[in-house]
């Protein structure tokens, strides 16, 4: 009888431990689900280039291709502190953005890491919201280096590494960004002692209208 009682007690303890472990695993999973958000998108298209005289540097082409395969992960460490990671897998793995943000209120936040610069309003737009998935306009091409046309930006897709403060004031009527960047572009250490200043001001008089001015020096 003692052996039976011992066996029954052992089974009860194992069952209780299994239930506790399951509850603990469920609580951890729920906590991760509440704190971590994943999103992404893919874009494909058809590209064609024809030049009457083909140079040795650039050849004509006519092809379907994958433009972007982007994954975004956002981790809310606290209600005010978060980490954001964005990568692209289209041609090869590329780390697009990786930064941490601490926002005390809507009027003030601080961001550290690699992110989109404040220069030009079109640089802030996602390729999913514009008419052409390659670039929005010539301004994006030459100012934000969307297609790498501007050698000053070094084909860095309008991103850089640095520190930035930002916020929205007066019930989101006025938005501001001010930062210090390496000035070397995406995934690149600073090669000089000088840093690049960037900033922008956005005025939103009504919900569907905004005016933005930005600089980079």
Identify the pLDDT of residue 29.
74
Q: Is residue 179 part of a domain?
A: yes
Identify the pLDDT of residue 6.
54
Question: How many distinct structural domains can be found in the chain?
Answer: 1
Single out the residue of 192, 160, 162, 191 nearest to residue 179, CA to CA: 162
Q: Is residue 18 part of a domain?
A: no
Q: Is residue 30 part of a domain?
A: no
Going 214 to 191 to 161 to 40, the CA torsion angle's sign is positive
- CA–CA–CA angle 179, 102, 116 (5° rounding): 40
Identify the pLDDT of residue 155.
47
Q: Is residue 105 part of a domain?
A: yes
94, with CB counted inside 10 A (0-12, 13-18, 19+), is middle
Neighbours of 184 (CB within 10 A): 17
Whole-model pTM: value is 0.74
Domain that holds residue 125: 76-216
d(CA 120, CA 215): 8
Task: Tell me the residue length of the chain.
Answer: 217
Q: Which 8-state DSSP code applies to residue 154? A: T
Q: Is residue 186 part of a domain?
A: yes
Neighbours of 5 (CB within 10 A): 9
Q: Is residue 16 part of a domain?
A: no
Identify the pLDDT of residue 153.
40
Q: Is residue 157 part of a domain?
A: yes
Q: What is the pLDDT of residues 183-205, one digit of tens each?
A: 888 888 888 888 999 999 999 99
Q: What is the pLDDT of residues 29-80, one digit of tens each?
A: 777 788 899 999 998 888 887 777 655 556 777 889 888 899 999 999 999 9
Q: Is residue 65 part of a domain?
A: no
């Amino acid at each position: 009888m003692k052996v039976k009682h011992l066996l029954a007690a052992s089974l009860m303890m194992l069952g209780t431990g299994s239930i506790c472990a399951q509850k603990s695993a469920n609580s951890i999973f729920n906590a991760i689900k509440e704190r971590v958000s994943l999103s992404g998108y893919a874009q494909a298209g058809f590209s064609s280039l024809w030049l009457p005289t083909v140079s040795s540097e650039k050849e004509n082409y006519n092809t379907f291709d994958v433009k972007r395969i982007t994954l975004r992960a956002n981790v809310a460490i606290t209600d005010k502190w978060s980490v954001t990671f964005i990568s692209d897998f289209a041609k090869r793995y590329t780390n697009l953005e990786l930064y941490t943000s601490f926002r005390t209120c809507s009027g003030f936040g601080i961001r550290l890491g690699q992110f989109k610069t404040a220069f030009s309003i079109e640089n802030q737009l996602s390729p999913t919201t514009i008419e052409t998935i390659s670039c929005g306009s010539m301004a994006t091409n030459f100012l934000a280096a969307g297609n790498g046309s501007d050698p000053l930006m070094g084909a860095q897709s309008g991103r850089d590494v640095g520190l930035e403060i930002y916020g929205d004031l007066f019930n989101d009527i006025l938005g501001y960004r001010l930062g210090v960047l390496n000035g070397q572009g995406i995934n690149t250490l600073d090669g000089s002692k000088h840093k690049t200043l960037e900033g922008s001001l956005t005025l939103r008089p009504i919900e569907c209208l905004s005016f933005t001015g930005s600089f980079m020096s």
